[in-house]
Amino acid sequence: MSLTGYTAGVFDLFHIGHLRHLEAARRHCDRLIVGLTTDELCTAYKHKVPVIPYEERAAIVRAIRWVDEVIPQRSMDRWKVWEDRRFDVTVVGDDWEGSALWDEYERRFGQVGVKIVYLPYAGHTSSSLLRSVLQRLSGAA
């Protein structure tokens, strides 16, 4: 039986943490779909405009060998994605584990047989850190 997995993210200022997340996500499935947060959702949800525009981020993520498909993430509602794509496994960072949202997802996904995998945050590099360094450098120029 072939398992389809789903993970999502902004993947702005692509770095080693992103790469490791995608590689680890793929270990839990045979086919990996990545929901790439649109510029509009990122601005609304995180109150930040991505440095790299959606189409360029999509090209980067699509080029990763562990990724089979990139779809726009226009909503934070993972259940809506499941209703459309019927994945078997969903992968998310362990910073979400135990949150009210993901407790509810565990209940709902458990009823339909979807496994949730929480990946540990690994690494010291983050897009927020890279963004702040770029902002400091551009201010110094």
Going through the chain in order, the beta strands assigned E by DSSP cover 4-9, 31-37, 69-73, 89-93, 115-119
Annotated catalytic residue, options 48, 76, 79, 106: 48
User: Which string of b and e fits 79-110 if b means at least 16 CB within 10 Å?
Assistant: eebbeeeebbbbbbeeeeeeeeebeebeeebe
Catalytic residue flag (residue 115): no
Query: Residue 34: beta bridge partners?
Result: 7, 70
Residue with the two structure tokens 């995180």? 46
Catalytic residue flag (residue 80): no
Annotated catalytic residue, options 15, 46, 115, 131: 46
Q: Residues with catalytic annotation?
A: 46, 48
